[in-house]
Amino acid sequence: MNGVRENSPPIQTQRLHLRRFCEGDVIALHEILRDKKVNLFLPWFPSRTLAETEERLHEWMESYDREGEYRYALCRKEDGFLIGYVHVSGDASHDLGYGLRQDFWGKGIAVEACRAVLAKLQQDGVSYVTATHDVNNPASGAVMKKLGMTYHYSYVEQWKPKEIQVTFRMYQRNLNGVSPVYDVYWNRYPRHFIEKLS
């Protein structure tokens, strides 16, 4: 690649093959994006049509042209079946996000996939990664803790496009050295506080 680092190169884990999304993923991805329970705490409404999923898939595939952004399709190693995704934004937050088919919840899949992606970020010299979760979605927070992320603060946001008030918890993990706490959300939203979490 003429010395240019490939964006989101494939990764293998014990049970998973992580790869770039492609056009052929639209039907499998639609099963994930149309599920109301899977998308309840995500920043979009569930897909109503295959065309909506196709549009989102194209948006995701365009991310491979952006420096510093990581986006993976999570596939079972044995048959290549698409079961979820992991994304890390290319902006200063290095925000980690993930989603998984319901029938694969509770099996450690998200943790396994995210650990592999964080190892790749560390290898690439990314200093830290952040992640946020709705206080009503503690399962996502449990994934963050298993990834070695540390809770720092909470904040209340009027969330778009769903137009609801959400209290988010912000977690961070430093990957290369010591990084200051990412305080953009703290400074942006007037209603912020530190919870005592057990």
Residue 87 has pLDDT above 60, yes or no: yes
Three-class DSSP category at 117: helix
Cβ 14 vs Cβ 116: under 8 Å: no
The CATH code that applies to domain 11-193 is: 3.40.630.30
What pTM was estimated for this model as a whole? 0.93
The percent of residues above 90 in pLDDT, for the chain, comes to 87
Contacts of 68 (CB under 8 A, 6+ apart): 90, 126
C-alpha–C-alpha distance, residues 133 and 148, integer Å: 15
More confident residue, 7 or 156: 156
168 vs 174: CA distance, rounded Å: 20
For residue 154, pLDDT beyond 90: yes
Residue pLDDT, tens place only, 177-187: 899 999 999 99
What average pLDDT score do residues 45-64 get?
A: 95
Q: State the pLDDT at residue 5.
A: 52
Domain residue limits, the chain: 11-193
Given a cut of 90, whether residue 36 has pLDDT beyond it is yes
Q: What is the pLDDT of residues 44-54, one digit of tens each?
A: 889 999 999 99
Spatial neighbors of 5 by CB under 8 A, at least 6 apart, are 124
Q: Residue range 165-182: average pLDDT? A: 96
From the number of C-beta atoms within 10 Å of its C-beta (0-12, 13-18, 19+), residue 108 rates as middle
> What pLDDT shows up at residue 2?
37
> Which residues have CB under 8 Å from 38's CB, separation 6+?
32, 46, 99, 100, 101, 102
Instruction: Tell me how far apart the alpha carbons of residues 129 and 83 are, in angstroms, rounded to a whole number.
Output: 23
